[in-house]
Copies of this chain bind each other. A is one copy, B any other.
């Protein structure tokens, strides 16, 4: 089984209200040094035997995991884990 991690982030320039809320909350909690916060998703996939894992995961991102209009994604293949 392979572990693949996917980071889905908003494209530069897209407003991030959740990030803005985090920044404001941190500021009011006394963390004035926080100038900006951006929030994305982090997805771990455990994938069984298949050919060309990277292409398959790209396809998953395009079809379900990310919204390519406003989001970017980054795929990292990790070493095989548990069998």
Contacts and interface: CB of A to CB of B under 8 A. Distances in A.
A20 interface: no
Query: Would you list the 3 A-B pairs with minimal beta carbon distance, nearest first?
Result: A33-B50, A42-B42, A36-B46
26 contacts: A8-B42, A9-B42, A9-B44, A25-B64, A26-B64, A29-B64, A31-B56, A31-B60, A33-B48, A33-B49, A33-B50, A33-B56, A34-B46, A35-B46, A35-B47, A35-B48, A36-B44, A37-B43, A37-B45, A38-B43, A39-B43, A39-B44, A40-B42, A40-B43, A41-B41, A42-B42
Interface of A: 1, 7-9, 19, 22, 25-26, 29, 31, 33-50, 56, 59-60, 63-65
Contacts of A46: 34-37
